[in-house]
Amino acid sequence: MLELVDLSKKYKQFYAVKNLNMFIEKGEIVGLLGPNGAGKSTAISMLSSLVEPTEGDVRFNNKSVIKKPAPLRKVIGMVPQEVALYDDLTAEENLHFFGRIYRLTGAQLKQRVNEVLEIIGLTDRRKDIVKKFSGGMKRRLNIGAALLHEPEVIIMDEPTVGIDPQSRNYILETVKRLNKEKGMTVLYTSHYMEEVEFLCDRIYIMDKGDLIASGTKDEIKRILSAEKTISIQADRLNDSFISKLKQHPTINRVIAEEKEITIMVAKEINMFSTLIKIAEDAGIELNSVDIKTPTLEDVFLHLTGRALRD
Amino acid sequence: MKGILFAKLKTFIRTPWLFILMTLMSLGFAWIVGGADDENQMQVPVYAANETIQDGLIGKALTISDTIDFNWMSEKEMTDQIADDKAEMGVKLEENDFQLLTGVESLNADLIKRIVQQAYENREQQEQIVAATSLVTEKEKADVQKELQAAMEAPVFSMDTGSFRGTDTWVYDDTFQRLFGFALFFMIYTVSYSVLPILTEKEDGIWDRLILSPVRKWEMYVSNLIYSFLTGYLQVLLVFLIFRFWIGVDFNGRFAETLLLLIPYVFAVVALAVFLTAIVKNQPQFSAILPLMAVSMAMIGGAFWPIEIVDSKILIALSKINPLTYGMEVLNGVAVYGYSLEELLYPISILLLMGVVLMGVGMHLMEKRHI
């Protein structure tokens, strides 16, 4: 349905996106995962025909979107990263505005506004001015504004940034429902692993403009089939402990945070007693040592040596 | 396009505060500073060397002046007022001559000199007429003078006189100077802040949504610019209406023409705001540059004081690329000088040209830039 072919975007000497290849099939929820600055927003701006690529092509039903953006634009709904709404208008007025720009009028417009308010759970707050809304409600309305013309494809650029867990869950459930009930194709970008894991059938992982992994959740997790992740927690981690872990021959990777260290080792190795000894030598007292099931976060860690939120 | 205009209108109704503030500022400055009421009529202390001058024809002529309020006082009081900066200047009247005592250089010196000089000339003229009658007694002379006064107040026929104005002559009308100056100055803020949402809506992603919709790019720009134009025009219209119908400034009978010929200036300011919005990177930068630009424009464009008193060649050269200069020229041309449309074609053309160029360059830059 939608295909990105060797897509690149270059700003002066810097590649925001480099040779990106992706496809999205009808009715899928596809996740585009990566830390801030990975090039996700640039990629979806090119995909939605808002930004012209430096190289490559975007194809919709096998036709170039760059040459003729209109067919894609008719069926696309865009949820930008920023809350793209009029703060001084009510929720209903905002939806009326975005409905009108899609040439909806009269009873049809009224009906769609009511339906969308129902979907995003803001029927009771329809007459309230947007600037009085909480972050979560604004985000829900931001999604609603992209649903008025009943798009076939919806592109969501980090739609849950900076909101409370309850609103976040509501949004994730809404996206799932739209996909299941309306058959809507969704491209969902995020830097939250758990969201992508929960929602998406297939996942693309980007870092620094490059695509570093792609596949179904299981396929991606299999990248870590030979390794396991161990999380070590202590009150006062010191440089000596971290340095000893890094120098240890059986430890493949060490990621140190304030009170937690994550290490990756071969699956068959039992590290427990070794870790206790290294901690004693470094003079620190461990609070816990957990062996974790691999997550997409661990995959990203494995591929880039950095946590997703770094 | 209607949808965008409707949303703008609703936003305006919900948050009209900047518009109201700028309208009040225009009114306040033009009214209070501009002396539209009697209390602000210019006060000039005057001293007569003897009582016959004050009671005679000269004294009467000065008392009935509707331009200047001459206050009679002693010579010491007059010099004290000038020394204490309570008065710009004073007039000392003698039997056959007068002196103008100036404390500060003032634009009004010429005007006061003309009024006093006219009073002396009128007295001289009347005395010569009385002398030509060969009357002897004072009573007869006084009767003739009374008849003469009555005849002058009800002439047999009246005559309008006019003259070709040279480029070096100009008329200073305080009320219009302040009214036009402050109205055009404060409108720059209203218009600019109504154009600014183009930048913020682009940053917020509203424009991306519009681009993906069936709305065309030109509709997005035109609806935003129509809205900016209307808010700017409405502000000046309100100020002028209040001055016309409440305060009673009659725009020398050319109120409708003044409103009509305001259009090119508002268009040029909208274009200037588009250009400014295109060259700044963000809203804080816009808010920092706008006052600098607006105040500079007002200073060299003749909004705060007449451009005619500026001597610096550099400032005069800069004023030639300033829409406010031409805006003032057009409005003063209509209301103060009574120029016809043909005589105002030059400043109107410059304003339209500036509007087209700034709008073109501004939109090009906006489209070129990646946000």
Nearest to A89 among B7, B210, B212 (CB): B7
pLDDT value, residue B41: 61
Query: Which one of B204, B212, B369 would you mutate to disrupt binding with A, by most A Cβ within 10 Å of its Cβ?
Result: B212
- The answer to whether A86 contacts chain B (CB < 8 Å) is yes
- The answer to whether A12 contacts chain B (CB < 8 Å) is no
Q: Is the ipTM of this complex over 0.85?
A: no
The residue to which tokens 């000339």 are assigned: B121
Nearest to A89 among B10, B212, B213 (CB): B10
Strand order in the sheet with A227-234: A251-256, A260-266, A227-234, A286-292
Nearest to B211 among A50, A103, A145 (CB): A50
- Degrees to nearest 5, angle at CA B10 with B8 and B14: 115
- The answer to whether A48 contacts chain B (CB < 8 Å) is yes
- The answer to whether A10 contacts chain B (CB < 8 Å) is no
Q: Where are the domains of chain A?
A: 2-221, 226-293
User: Helices A106-119 and A165-182 sit at what angle, rounded to 10 degrees?
Assistant: 130
What is the share, in percent, of chain B residues with pLDDT greater than 90?
23
- Kindly list the structural domains of chain B, giving each domain's residue range(s) and its CATH number in brackets, ordered by start: 2-35+173-368 (no CATH), 41-150 (3.40.190)
What is the share, in percent, of chain A residues with pLDDT greater than 70?
97
- The answer to whether A11 contacts chain B (CB < 8 Å) is yes
Distances (CA, A) of A165 to A117, A141, A309, B37, B88: 21, 17, 17, 63, 71
Nearest CA in chain B to A99: B3
CB spacing of A86 vs B11 below 8 angstroms: yes
CB spacing of B212 vs A76 below 8 angstroms: yes
List of residues 6+ apart from B115 with CB closer than 8 A: B62, B65, B67, B68
Core vs surface per residue A197-206: b (16+ CB within 10 A) or e: bbbbebbbbb
Residue B51 DSSP symbol: H
List of residues 6+ apart from B358 with CB closer than 8 A: B268, B271, B272, B274, B275
CB spacing of A129 vs B14 below 8 angstroms: yes
pLDDT value, residue A188: 92
CB spacing of A89 vs B213 below 8 angstroms: no
Query: Which one of A97, A130, A154 would you mutate to disrupt binding with B, by most B Cβ within 10 Å of its Cβ?
Result: A97
- A224 burial (CB, 10 Å; 0-12 / 13-18 / 19+) is buried
CB spacing of B2 vs A100 below 8 angstroms: yes
- A293 burial (CB, 10 Å; 0-12 / 13-18 / 19+) is exposed
Tokens of B224: 């935003």
Range among B139-148, B176-185, B245-254 rated most confident? B176-185
Q: What is the 3-state secondary structure (H, E, C) of chain A?
A: CEEEEEEEEEECCEEEEEEEEEEECCCCEEEEECCCCCCHHHHHHHHCCCCCCCEEEEEECCEECCCCCHHHHHHEEEECCCCCCCCCCEHHHHHHHHHHHCCCCHHHHHHHHHHHHHHCCCHHHCCCEHHHCCHHHHHHHHHHCCCCCCCCEEEEECCCCCCCHHHHHHHHHHHHHHHHHHCCEEEEEECCHHHHHHHCCEEEEEECCEEEEEEEHHHHHHHHCCEEEEEEEECCCCHHHHHHHHHCCCEEEEEECCCEEEEEEECCCCCHHHHHHHHHHHCCCEEEEEEECCCHHHHHHHHHCCCCCC
CB spacing of B3 vs A97 below 8 angstroms: yes
pLDDT confidence bin for B167, thresholds 50/70/90 = very low
Question: At B101, which helix (H) or strand (E)?
Answer: strand B98-102
Residue A282 confidence (pLDDT) above 70: yes
Q: How far is B320 from chain A (nearest CA, A)?
A: 38
CB spacing of B6 vs A100 below 8 angstroms: yes
> pLDDT tens across A21-52, in order?
999 999 999 999 888 888 888 999 999 888 88
Query: Which one of B2, B213, B215, B217 would you mutate to disrupt binding with A, by most A Cβ within 10 Å of its Cβ?
Result: B213
| Radius of gyration from C-alpha coordinates of chain A | 23
The single-letter code of the amino acid at B77 is E
Residue B215 DSSP symbol: -
Q: Which CATH superfamily is domain A2-221 in?
A: P-loop containing nucleotide triphosphate hydrolases (3.40.50.300)
Residue from A168, A210, A181, A164 nearest A40 by CA: A210
> pLDDT tens across B68-109, in order?
788 889 888 988 888 888 888 889 998 888 988 888 777 678
Nearest to B208 among A11, A80, A102 (CB): A80
CATH 3.30.70.980, applies to A226-293: yes
Instruction: Say how far apart CA B304 and CA B318 lie, in whole Å.
Output: 16
Nearest CA in chain B to A157: B205
- B281 burial (CB, 10 Å; 0-12 / 13-18 / 19+) is exposed
pLDDT confidence bin for A154, thresholds 50/70/90 = very high
Give A145's contacts in chain B (Cβ within 8 Å): 209
Residue from A42, A26, A2 nearest A206 by CA: A42
Q: Across chain B, which distance is largest between two alpha carbons, in Å?
A: 98
Cβ–Cβ < 8 Å for B184, B236: yes
- The answer to whether A198 contacts chain B (CB < 8 Å) is no
Range among A56-60, B48-52, B104-108 rated most confident? A56-60
pLDDT value, residue B312: 77
CB spacing of A73 vs B3 below 8 angstroms: no
